[in-house]
Amino acid sequence: MPALPAVLPCAIRCALVIAAVAGLGACASTGPQSSSARPVLYPNDAFNRMGSQAAQAQVQACEDKALDAGLTPRVEDNAVGRGAVRGAAVGGTLGAVAGIFNGGIGRVAENAAKGAVAGGATGAVSESFNNDKPNPIYRNFVSRCVQERGLEVIGWN
């Protein structure tokens, strides 16, 4: 792939890179390991009697029941915040060390602050891509509710 022309302003190049990363992130947030996955039903007798549309309505009712019980499809573990703090600590440390070697002792605080800001932002963005973990309790609740209605969940997708 040819490199982006040097005549493109930096803002346009940055916008293109951000759009590409966002697009890849959207692709990564689907599939069976995503919190947006839904139950896949086996076409057993109950499914065949009620039909696909009614079976999906039963699944939706079970998902609503899980939400009413206080469960969420995604694990809420504040990973983005922890990533930001971890990144800020690492970035601040690296910035301080770079300040000692490149600017003398007088530039340590300035470089540590710059490193902490860059590291914090990097850590938050990195964890935001890993923050789509399905909640196993929510999935078990929905699966059991669906099973009690005569349907069989064979997986999530």
Task: Return the pLDDT at 49.
Answer: 97
Give the number of other Cβ atoms within 10 Å of residue 128's Cβ.
14
- pLDDT band for position 14 (cuts 50, 70, 90): very low
What's the whole-number mean pLDDT along residues 53-60? 97
| Cα gap 3→125, rounded to integer Å | 25
- Per DSSP (E only), the strands in the chain are 39-42, 152-156
What's the whole-number mean pLDDT along residues 25-29? 50
H helix runs in 10-78, sequence order: 10-28, 45-68
Output the pTM of the full model.
0.55
Half-sphere exposure of 151 (CA within 13 A, CB side): 30
The residue with tokens 């932002």 is 121
% pLDDT > 70, the chain? 62
Contacts of 88 (CB under 8 A, 6+ apart): 116, 117, 119, 120, 123
* Tens-place pLDDT, residues 83-108: 666 776 777 677 777 777 776 677 77
